[in-house]
Chains A and B, each alone.
Chain A
């Protein structure tokens, strides 16, 4: 596609509910990143894939957060037993390999836990 596509754009979840957020990267981009952006803050790194391999998950805040990219293209970020502090915008970005490439961000999914 023309850009990074994320769905849903908005998600309201009841506390304790599981959610799954989808990211469709730009075609041909092997690197895929997830970030969490709380209201009024800068994005914070969650996890990073190169193809299907999850190379860094150091930013995942707890074991309730899980990300996968089984075929090296679409990625899903899953949050189990959501809590109010999980409310944020979840941004996905993708990039080509190489030193001079930049990451392109999707529109994000705004998650509100009530």
Chain B
């Protein structure tokens, strides 16, 4: 059974700092997604990573995928308050298996 784990579950960070969220999954998958969810809102797609070594960047967020290690990272550079949200990774082709989520809070 495919399992997806994220860490940390909670992250409180100061504006301007850097941090990385980790996503581990238990079986082979060629596709990994990162989503953002604001409280009471739906999921917003951030990145789709389709191959080993894929790296994508959007603003202060950068995601990477290592299919051999079954690991994806979401790196936050110089955090700002607007990045406060819950971040999910998900693995799968049709049926997505989501991680536990990382609740990020950025404070001044």
Contacts and interface: CB of A to CB of B under 8 A. Distances in A.
B63 to A, nearest CB: 13
Interface in B13-63: 33, 35, 41-45, 48, 50
Interface in A57-104: 58-59, 91, 93, 99-100, 102-104
B42 A108 contact: yes
Taking residues whose C-beta sits less than 8 angstroms from the other chain, chain B's interface range is 20 to 34
Interface string B94-108: 111111110000000
Interface of B: 33, 35, 41-45, 48, 50, 88, 90, 93-101
A42 B42 contact: no
A107 B41 contact: yes
Nearest to A40: B101
A43 B94 contact: no
Contacts of B97: 45
A102 B48 contact: yes
Interface string A41-65: 1111100100000011011000000
Contacts of B100: 41-42
A33 B41 CA distance: 17
Contacts of A42: 88, 90, 98-101
A56 B90 CA distance: 18
Interface in A4-59: 31, 33, 35, 41-45, 48, 55-56, 58-59
A102 B42 contact: no
Given A31-B94, A56-B94, A91 B101 contact: no
A58 B95 CA distance: 10
